[in-house]
Amino acid sequence: SQVVYVSATPGPWEYEHSEQVVEQIIRPTGLLDPVVEVRPTKGQVDDLIDEIRARVDLGERVLVTTLTKKMAEDMADYLTEMGVKTQYLHSEIQTFERVEILRDLRLGVYDVVVGINLLREGLDLPEVSLVAILDADKEGYLRSQWSLIQTMGRAARHVSGKVIMYADTMTDSMRRAIDETGRRRRIQEESNRAHGIEPEGIRKAIRDITERVKQVAEEGPVYVTGPIPKDEIARLIKDLEKQMKDAGKNLEFEKAALLRDRVVELRRELVGDEEGLSVIAEMRRAAYRRPRRRRWHGARASRRDRRSPRRCPL
């Protein structure tokens, strides 16, 4: 059998199992991979603020990546107190709110978003011209070669795309990521010169994805359930709920909305008789027996409550 594997950042395993690798480096718009700079950590926050303000004056946006949730929150709070419109983004924020934050970044409600894992493929933000990577020399999953390349790619949608790594040492992952980005940029520059192409930024409409998800949910197909045993329905509901959460984490909101409708229909099926009600009761008892995780209540209210000035987080 033959398999075509597509990836923006194939790893060693993919290279080992591929008979041939075909690269797609040239973009039709002539956009180049971003320029990468490495700067020392001493005075990094002041340096970052200067870079941010220069981008804000041009109507551009900035992404900042940290290693921990607390560091992301503290950095966002500090930048806000310095007069920069900032919001943080991490896993404790509900999925739909994450999308709203990114949409607000594009609209200019925020000029900066601080996050931990901003390397998600498909995170298309044409307004972002600068990506700042704090603690770039801390080896690990978030600072591996491929993670760094993906993070750098968030600035590759802008004609003035730039990446600043704040680090005191040059790790192997940093060197390989910088070398790979430089190699791609040289190929792109040569292609542009050969064909007389001037790099052109991406123009992408800002859609309200929450309205689209609501529309999909309202227009979803009508599900008809057959004579399925009640305990099987209960297991199916659990499986669909897991798929729904996974779809939300992967930003597949239309799929999540359809799965939610399916769960609602199955729950209605269970409520139809005494046996179904007993199954639902047992599901609730099982849920109560599981330890509950603390949920995030939002950062905006907590920020308003803070009155004492904050120290620089780094």
pLDDT digits (tens, 9 = 90+) for 283-314: 555 554 545 444 444 444 444 444 455 666 66
| Amino acid making up residue 117 | N
Pair 47, 97 in one domain: yes
Can you read off the two tokens belonging to residue 134? 């704090």
Pair 131, 279 in one domain: no
Pair 107, 146 in one domain: yes
8 Å CB contact between 247 and 256: yes
Pair 44, 171 in one domain: yes
The greatest distance separating any two alpha carbons of the chain, rounded to the nearest whole angstrom, comes to 75
Residue 236 counted as domain residue = yes
**3-class DSSP assignment, residue 93:** coil
Pair 240, 107 in one domain: no
Pair 105, 229 in one domain: no
Mean pLDDT of 185-202: 93
Cα–Cα nearest to 136, from 108, 162, 167, 163? 167
Pair 232, 184 in one domain: no
Residue 211 counted as domain residue = no
Pair 41, 157 in one domain: yes
Pair 103, 160 in one domain: yes
CA atoms 76, 77, 78, 82: torsion sign: positive
Counting beta carbons within 10 angstroms of the beta carbon of residue 220, is it exposed (0 to 12), middle (13 to 18) or buried (19 or more)?
A: middle
**3-class DSSP assignment, residue 113:** strand
- Assess whether pLDDT exceeds 50 at residue 264: yes
Assessment of whether the complete model's pTM goes beyond 0.85: no
Residue 129 counted as domain residue = yes
Residue 292 counted as domain residue = no
Neighbours of 158 (CB within 10 A): 24
The number of distinct structural domains making up the chain is 2
Task: Report the pLDDT value the prediction gives residue 308, as an integer from 0 to 100.
Answer: 52
Pair 109, 59 in one domain: yes
Q: What are phi and psi of 152, to 5 degrees?
A: -60, -35
Q: Which domain holds residue 234?
A: 222-285
Give tens-digit pLDDT for 89-144: 988 888 778 888 988 999 999 999 999 877 555 578 899 999 999 999 999 888 99
H helices of 82-163, where? 95-107, 145-152
Pair 242, 144 in one domain: no
Q: What are phi and psi of 113, to 5 degrees?
A: -120, 130
Mean pLDDT of 138-151: 90
